[in-house]
């Protein structure tokens, strides 16, 4: 039976970089999640259609799925595919939407943010191409959420999600599906699994699932299909609080893996994935690959991997991501696009076949096989490259730098700043932009400065205020923007990049190579001066 529950609008339901993210306690307020879900259904019109639903298994995942199922049934959704145990990685949702021609899907995740009762929760709508809803749609959902006065629900038994099978909720069919099968099949189409199996017998490696959603995927694909030893797949059981950790695969948060790779006779390959399985970190022995470099290396070597044997049509990177991939695109005579931060901006370019590979500096890389970034895909891509080239990660990276030059790169995050201070810092910088070009600081001269505006070449939409850029002669850059995924105060991200062509200077610590830019950033923006912070919270 369908009934309507009266509620009132919440003013803070505008999705950020990747969906709506708030503290768990905020999401658990009566009607908060239900309102947003009703706003999605009011906006998309999926009556009689198929949707996909799953999450990264964090605290509140199962309760949220139950709420979504009740509202979906009451809104006339025909069929819902739900991941077993409520689990689906973000790239798997994308894969399943595409394969089963679903109308769209709902991803429950706050990605790399910590989970548990005190942690974060999130919800995101993906469209029929498998990718995050574009801004036009997220804005429409937000607008609807501001007018909502109630939502519809169906009462009745919700099936247990622990086993694959079919059930009914009112007129809606619920299909509980194997969370891994479709995704694993796609990976087998893209990579040379026979070769990988042989290679893996010879390779000392570790994969860290960080107690997040990639556990079951890594166990099936790396373990069962490729023969990686079980104890080399670390933290493979998804936990509602990610074992108390921060499921962000970077050198700062993947401490256990870093420790193993930095041992004298440690493994030669290491990788990790985030809460929802869309990020990846790649490590060699005592070496962390910068995500921007990773995109460039994959692009330069794509033809060695079966799924990309015919070459790539183009590359897209988010604006703050280093220009390492631009240099590769130039050498390959293919276009390179610069988009705002967030995977939703890659969808149009991928759908129009303008690009094959996409990447972000925030440990995100993927291709046209789905419309999300894809952690395990990047790991398999690297392993396939190592197998074909018969070289270590370190050798491949150094060879890449010799050929294309090195883009030293780093991101400094200042977390949970007072929002007023952070906003006024950015506003002040915007006011100063006009006067900055032509200014010199030591050996560096600012060639141009602006606040990045993106003109989508496919649908003509315009996204302004995407980050302040200081562009220096010779290609160095300083970029500053505020995060759109945080849930506490404001997080300010400072991105630093400097190009070095000379191979004799390719072995510096990035913080040293970027030291003068770091000083210039402080001089111009004054983050430390204005926030009172002595240093960034996270350096990657
Ligand atoms: C961050 C990253 C961005 C990424 C987004 C979602 O956004 O910088 O590159 O797309 O997280 O990643 P922001 O606005 O905080 O800088 V995930 O793995 O949350 O889906
Ligand atoms: Co993520």
- Residue 290's Cα: distance from chain center in Å? 15
With the most atoms of ligand 1 within 8 angstroms of its CB, the residue from 14, 15, 16, 17 to mutate is: 17
Token pair, residue 191, equals 């990579």
User: What pLDDT is stored for residue 149 in this prediction?
Assistant: 97
Residue ranges of alpha helices (H) inside 11-56 are 24-27, 32-44
Residue with CA closest to ligand 1 atom 4: 342
User: What pLDDT is stored for residue 484 in this prediction?
Assistant: 86
Residue with CA closest to ligand 1 atom 20: 111
Exposure of 351 by Cβ count < 10 A (0-12 exposed, 13-18 middle, 19+ buried)?
middle
- Give the residues surrounding ligand 1 with Cβ less than 6 Å away: 17-18, 111-112, 274, 278-279, 318, 341-343, 360, 362, 364, 483-485, 493
User: What pLDDT is stored for residue 60 in this prediction?
Assistant: 97
Q: How far apart are CA 10 and CA 410, in angstroms?
A: 37
Residue with CA closest to ligand 1 atom 17: 111
Residue with CA closest to ligand 1 atom 13: 483
Q: How far apart are CA 471 and CA 271, in angstroms?
A: 32
Q: Which ligand is nearest to the CA of 345?
A: 1
From ligand 2's centre to the CA of 224, what distance in Å? 24
Ligand 1, atom nearest to 486 Cα? 15
User: What pLDDT is stored for residue 350 in this prediction?
Assistant: 98
Identify the CA nearest to 419 among candidates 353, 468, 488. 488
233-259 pLDDT, tens digit each:
999 999 999 999 899 999 989 999 999
Ligand 1, atom nearest to 16 Cα? 14
User: What pLDDT is stored for residue 46 in this prediction?
Assistant: 95
Token pair, residue 90, equals 């973000």
Exposure of 306 by Cβ count < 10 A (0-12 exposed, 13-18 middle, 19+ buried)?
middle
With the most atoms of ligand 1 within 8 angstroms of its CB, the residue from 110, 210, 274, 485 to mutate is: 485
The structure tokens 């302004």 sit at 464
Residue with CA closest to ligand 1 atom 6: 18
Q: Which ligand is nearest to the CA of 16?
A: 1
With the most atoms of ligand 1 within 8 angstroms of its CB, the residue from 19, 91, 362 to mutate is: 362
From ligand 2's centre to the CA of 27, what distance in Å? 19
**CB neighbour burial string for 259-283, b if at least 16 within 10 angstroms, e if fewer:** ebbeeeebbbbbbbbbbbbbbbbbb
> Interior CA angle at 381 toward 375 and 384, to 5°?
145
Identify the CA nearest to 283 among candidates 227, 223, 225, 204. 204
User: What pLDDT is stored for residue 26 in this prediction?
Assistant: 96
Walk across the sheet containing 120-126 and list its strands. Answer: 20-23, 120-126, 104-108, 50-55, 79-87, 172-177, 165-169
Task: Strands of 11-170 (E only): list them.
Answer: 20-23, 50-55, 79-87, 104-108, 120-126, 150-154, 165-169
Task: Strands of 117-238 (E only): list them.
Answer: 120-126, 150-154, 165-169, 172-177, 205-208, 233-234
From ligand 1's centre to the CA of 219, what distance in Å? 26
Residue with CA closest to ligand 1 atom 2: 362
From ligand 2's centre to the CA of 59, what distance in Å? 16
CA atoms within 13 A on the CB side of 152: 12
Residue with CA closest to ligand 1 atom 16: 483
User: What pLDDT is stored for residue 293 in this prediction?
Assistant: 98
Q: How far apart are CA 490 and CA 359, in angstroms?
A: 24
From ligand 2's centre to the CA of 358, what distance in Å? 15
User: What pLDDT is stored for residue 490 in this prediction?
Assistant: 94
From ligand 1's centre to the CA of 382, what distance in Å? 22
User: What pLDDT is stored for residue 1 in this prediction?
Assistant: 83
The torsion angles phi and psi of 367, rounded to 5 degrees, stand at: -140, -170
With the most atoms of ligand 1 within 8 angstroms of its CB, the residue from 15, 16, 18 to mutate is: 18
Annotated active-site positions, please?
111
Cα distances (Å, whole numbers) of residue 425 to 16, 200, 447, 478: 20, 49, 22, 15
135-145 and 32-44 are packed helices; what angle lies between their axes, rounded to 10 degrees?
Answer: 120
443-477 pLDDT, tens digit each:
999 999 999 999 999 999 999 999 999 999 999 99
From ligand 2's centre to the CA of 390, what distance in Å? 31
Q: Show the low-confidence residues of the chain (pLDDT under 50).
A: none
488-527 pLDDT, tens digit each:
899 999 999 999 999 999 999 999 999 999 999 999 999 9
The structure tokens 């994935």 sit at 273
Instruction: Give SS3 for 52.
Output: strand
User: What pLDDT is stored for residue 434 in this prediction?
Assistant: 85
From ligand 1's centre to the CA of 360, what distance in Å? 9
Token pair, residue 150, equals 């109630």
The torsion angles phi and psi of 534, rounded to 5 degrees, stand at: -85, -30
Total count of residues recorded for the chain: 540
Residue with CA closest to ligand 1 atom 18: 111
Identify the CA nearest to 111 among candidates 19, 28, 35. 19
């Amino acid at each position: 039976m369908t009934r309507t529950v009266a509620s009132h609008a919440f003013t803070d339901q505008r999705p950020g970089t990747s969906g709506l993210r708030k503290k768990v306690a905020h999401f658990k307020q009566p009607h908060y999640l239900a309102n947003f879900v009703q706003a999605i259904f009011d906006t998309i019109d999926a009556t009689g259609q198929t949707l996909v639903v799953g999450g990264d298994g964090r605290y509140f995942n199962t309760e949220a799925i139950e709420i979504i199922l009740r509202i979906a049934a009451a809104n006339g959704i025909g069929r819902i595919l739900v991941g077993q145990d409520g689990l689906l990685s973000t790239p798997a949702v994308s894969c399943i939407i595409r394969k089963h021609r679903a109308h769209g899907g709902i991803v429950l995740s706050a990605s790399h943010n910590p989970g548990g009762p005190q942690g974060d929760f999130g919800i995101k709508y993906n469209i029929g191409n498998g990718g995050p809803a574009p801004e036009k749609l997220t804005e429409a959902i937000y607008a609807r959420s501001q007018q909502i006065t109630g939502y519809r629900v169906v009462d009745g038994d919700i099936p247990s999600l622990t086993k694959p099978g079919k059930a009914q909720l009112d007129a809606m069919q619920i299909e509980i599906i194997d969370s891994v099968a479709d995704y694993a099949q796609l990976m087998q189409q893209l990579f040379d699994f026979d070769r990988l199996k042989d290679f893996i017998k010879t390779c000392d490696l570790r994969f860290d699932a960080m107690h997040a959603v990639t556990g079951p995927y890594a166990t099936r694909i790396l373990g069962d299909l490729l023969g990686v030893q079980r104890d080399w797949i670390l933290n493979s059981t998804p936990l509602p609080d990610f074992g108390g950790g921060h499921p962000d695969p970077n050198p700062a948060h993947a401490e256990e893996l870093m420790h193993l790779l930095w041992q004298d006779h440690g493994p030669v390959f290491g990788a990790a994935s985030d809460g929802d399985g869309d990020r990846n970190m790649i490590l060699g022995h005592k070496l962390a690959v910068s995500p921007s470099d990773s995109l460039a290396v994959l692009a330069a070597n794509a033809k060695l991997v079966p799924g990309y044997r015919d070459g790539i049509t183009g590359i897209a990177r988010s604006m703050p991501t280093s220009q390492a991939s631009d240099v590769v695109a130039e050498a390959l005579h293919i276009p390179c696009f610069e988009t705002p931060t967030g995977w939703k901006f890659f969808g149009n370019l991928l759908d129009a076949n303008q690009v094959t590979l996409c990447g972000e500096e925030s440990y995100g890389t993927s291709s046209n096989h789905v419309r999300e970034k894809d952690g395990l895909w990047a790991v398999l891509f690297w392993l396939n490259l190592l197998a074909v080239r018969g070289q270590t990660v370190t050798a491949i990276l150094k060879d890449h730098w010799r050929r294309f030059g090195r883009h030293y790169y780093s991101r400094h995050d200042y977390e949970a700043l007072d929002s007023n201070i952070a906003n006024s810092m950015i506003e002040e910088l915007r006011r100063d932009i006009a006067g900055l070009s032509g200014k010199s600081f030591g050996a560096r001269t600012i060639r141009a400065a602006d606040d990045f505006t993106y003109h989508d070449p496919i649908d003509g939409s315009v996204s302004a205020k995407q980050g302040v850029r200081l562009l220096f002669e010779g290609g160095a850059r300083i970029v500053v923007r505020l995060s759109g995924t945080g849930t506490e105060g404001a997080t300010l991200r400072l991105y630093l990049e400097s190009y070095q062509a000379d191979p004799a200077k390719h072995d510096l610590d990035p913080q040293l190579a970027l030291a003068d830019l770091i000083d210039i950033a402080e001089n111009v923006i004054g983050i430390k001066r204005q926030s009172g912070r002595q240093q960034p919270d996270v350096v990657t």
